[in-house]
Structure 1
Amino acid sequence: MSNEMYPKSTLELAQRRRELEPKCEAAFQAFSQVVFADGALSSKTKQLIAVAVAHVTQCPYCIQGHTKAALRSGATAQELMEAVWVAAEMRAGAAFAHSTLMLDVVERSTS
Structure 2
Amino acid sequence: MQRKKETGMKRTENRDTLVHHWQKFKRHLPEMAEAYDGESRAAYAPGHLDAKTKRLMAIAVAVASKCEGCMIFQTDHALEQGATPEEIMEACGVAVSLGGTMAASEVTVVMEYLAELGKI
* Greater RCO (CA < 8 Å, at least 6 residues apart): 2
The structure that has the greater radius of gyration is: 1
Residue 20 (1) aligns with residue 24 (2): no
Q: 2 CA distance for matches of 1:52 and 1:31?
A: 19
- The answer to whether the 8 Å contact 2:52/2:83 transfers is yes
Q: 2 CA distance for matches of 1:76 and 1:21?
A: 35
1:32, distance to aligned residue in structure 2 (A): 0.2
* Counterpart residue number, 2:96: 88
Q: Which moved more, 1:4-13 or 1:82-91?
A: 4-13
TM-score of the aligned structures, taking structure 2 as reference length: 0.68
1:5, distance to aligned residue in structure 2 (A): 8.0
Instruction: Indicate how the Cα distance of structure 1 residues 11 and 48 shifts in structure 2: closer, same or farther if over 3 A, else same.
Output: closer
Q: 1 CA distance for matches of 2:18 and 2:33?
A: 16
1:12, distance to aligned residue in structure 2 (A): 3.5
* Counterpart residue number, 2:69: 61
1:91, distance to aligned residue in structure 2 (A): 1.3
Map 1:1-111 → 2, pairs under 5 A: 2-3=4-5, 4=7, 8=14, 9-92=17-100
CA RMSD of aligned residues (A): 2.1
Structure 2 counterpart of 1:22, which letter?
Answer: P
Instruction: Indicate how the Cα distance of structure 1 residues 57 and 11 shifts in structure 2: closer, same or farther if over 3 A, else same.
Output: closer
Q: How many residues align?
A: 92
Greater share of residues in helix:
2
Q: 2 CA distance for matches of 1:12 and 1:48?
A: 25
Deviant stretches of 4+, over 4 Å: none
Query: Structure 1 unaligned runs (5+)?
Result: 93-111
Of all paired residues, the percent bearing the same amino acid is: 32
Instruction: Indicate how the Cα distance of structure 1 residues 50 and 13 shifts in structure 2: closer, same or farther if over 3 A, else same.
Output: same
